[in-house]
Chains A and B, each alone.
Chain A
């Protein structure tokens, strides 16, 4: 659970799941991990580092020798290898296993949730772990304008309550492209789609306002519970973000105008392709993070160059910047490769590592738990043979919540 409890005031017993304390603390070992270099994503990398892990959390990170290894800690010496925070994908569809992500009868579906179709550590997630991905945003697809509510989850083994970081994690909205169709209802083109997105959000906003007024004593009568609109509460209270499938200059203009300016939502720009980086100034003004890709480059007919999308944002000053796979569009385990391509096309190494870790964590509002190697955070640690941005290097061990969940020595190399 994040510190901000989106369930505040929601009388659903479902909250029991979300507040469940992680089980199996007893099986979480006390570890001292030595590496040649630790990229913490919180300050400069530490050469010859030691990371202490206890109760699933990071207990200390520092220079080897300066960090005292207490009695009873299992020492894992990774020699010349590197450590980095577990990687985070803000846009993934493989948290379930049966493809139940697009329910497309209606164009807006705030009644739908992925919670009931999550399959922890399924076959695709097992390989994701081998690629160093430890947290994903499992979201409904973009078959409709409002696909439903996604979940933030770890990729490792365990029961649902063990792997779930937050539900509802995000709302999924898609503003262009995939939801365009001729189903007979309003929403066949972008004007119509933006109209019904706005109408649906207004309905949700009104519902939340009624409840906020009631809870603040500004309204005497208790509003009726409407399960279809219930999850709008954390959204309009800005406790969770909306993840927007939005791409291209015009589409992102509507994202900024409708979702941010009109609705005052916490917005994450997902995809952000084509020429949308030309809007960086507007994006920066509003402090909106961009989780770009997966197709991170485009051929620019104006000058005949292939240009990097991420570098386009970075060159224009956007720092809240990451990449995603939209898995299974790109295999989940290839998340780091998305950053590699972005670097090849002009992004810098340091920001690229941040874009795989702390930036998506901040965008998803879970940076208090994951995204960097800092004291008190979840011990989600990826051990690599070297910089993960160099495709010749690979992952040799992965810890999630302080437990080794992938180790090439035991599991053989999966990716």
Chain B
């Protein structure tokens, strides 16, 4: 219990915090009080206190006894949220997003090209994003392995998974640059030059992997055995259905990425129980990539259809606010940037909620998350504040 007497110790705590204890100290207890704590595990606590030690959340409650010698931070009217999780990002990838000279490269690893100090990762951290899933690009049909890392922290401990899922696509992206009109000896005189070829390459590769193994097909066999998830970029309704059809033919743990026209095939996606990582929401309705017809309330429509989905691609809080403006319930919007991506990335036991035992990844906002004037005060990763407004 946070007794009246102990509240009086607050100025003393701050003095220690500011003068003696360096910000990176982890072995000590830290208590953070906020006017609201969105635990994503039931309704928000108002007010709430979070107890952090050794990079983990020890406890969260409306009130907590604060032992002497503990650090204490009072956000006043500020609020606390779990660190946001960006489940589909290209942040940090340096030197090209795909190996475009080949169409099938399942062993190529995003983690080999991630620059941990990349400005894009710092920017995500400043926006409150603490965990990011980095996918290779879509210039080839089967592009490679994704990785998951924290947006900041010491290099040794930041990487949550070096090789997570396999990135594939049913979009027309891989057709770019390929043409039967190239010189016959050009490497780009190759399939696919349109979507029929894209789908065929996928069917062919997974079909061959059911019978034979090569180092590349070993990765596909991990997919077919269910050991490795697949992240398939599909934007048009036809391409989303093509991905579901591929999953019918070759059972796999499929996650759809992009999903601009998912609203058109929402019954089929809901029936397949496949989650969707929505591409960054367009702020104007109309035409999206590949001439997709976009709508403003895409997240709201998917929510009503019972499809699990995440908001991705940076600016997650702004995207959540935008989604709420057009019809997504607030709870669902927060889940779409915290709990849902944690679940899709199979990190539920570590991140996504403010709960005892989970990583101390927290975002402090200056006020109500749905107030457009509220801003990120600081972002904490594994118990250490890694971005703070100057």
Contacts and interface: CB of A to CB of B under 8 A. Distances in A.
B373 interface: no
A103 B291 contact: no
Interface residues of A, number: 38
Interface stretch (A54-62, A104-112, A293-301): A104-112
A87 B282 CA distance: 41
Contact of A160 (B180, B190, B241): B241
Majority secondary structure, B binding face: helix
Nearest to B237: A119
Interface string B229-256: 0000000111101100100110000000
Given A114-B196, A224-B211, A16 B248 contact: yes
Contacts of A14: 245, 248-249
Nearest to A104: B180
Interface stretch (B93-101, B199-207, B217-225, B358-366): B199-207
A14 B170 CA distance: 17
Contact of A159 (B189, B192, B211, B268): B268
A385 B184 CA distance: 55
B248 A117 contact: no
A140 interface: yes
Contact of A103 (B196, B237, B239): B196
A104 B241 CA distance: 24
A185 B184 contact: yes
A270 interface: no
A113 interface: yes
A117 B241 CA distance: 9
Contacts of B194: 98-103, 117
Nearest to B200: A111
Contacts of B189: 105, 183
B191 interface: yes
Contacts of B267: 159
A13 B291 contact: no
Contact of B241 (A12, A98, A100, A116): A116
Q: Among B184, B197, B237, which residue has the most Cβ atoms of chain A within 10 A?
A: B197
A184 interface: yes
B70 interface: no
Contacts of A100: 172, 194-196
Interface in A154-190: 159-160, 183-185
Nearest to B183: A184
B207 A105 contact: no
A164 to B, nearest CB: 12
B193 interface: yes
A191 interface: no
Contacts, number: 93
A52 interface: no
Contacts of A13: 248-249
Contact of A116 (B193, B196, B265, B290): B196
A204 interface: no
Contact of A113 (B172, B178, B196, B268): B196
A118 interface: yes
A404 B135 CA distance: 46
Nearest to B192: A103
A76 interface: no
Nearest to B185: A184
A227 interface: yes
A116 B249 contact: no
Contacts of A112: 196-197, 200
B196 A119 contact: no
B268 A117 contact: no
Nearest to B250: A13
Given A184-B184, A224-B211, A148 B249 contact: no
A116 B242 contact: yes
Contacts of A105: 178, 180, 189-191, 193, 197
Q: Which one of B190, B248, B265 has the highest number of Cβ atoms from chain A below 10 Å of its Cβ? A: B248
A183 B178 CA distance: 14
Contacts of A184: 184-185
Contacts of B200: 103, 111-113
A316 interface: no
B248 A227 contact: no
Given A13-B249, A116-B195, A118-B238, 8 more contacts: A98-B238, A101-B194, A101-B196, A112-B200, A113-B196, A113-B199, A159-B265, A160-B241
23 contacts: A12-B249, A14-B245, A17-B248, A98-B172, A98-B195, A98-B238, A100-B195, A102-B193, A103-B192, A103-B193, A103-B194, A104-B193, A105-B178, A105-B180, A105-B190, A111-B203, A117-B194, A117-B242, A148-B196, A183-B180, A183-B184, A227-B204, A227-B207
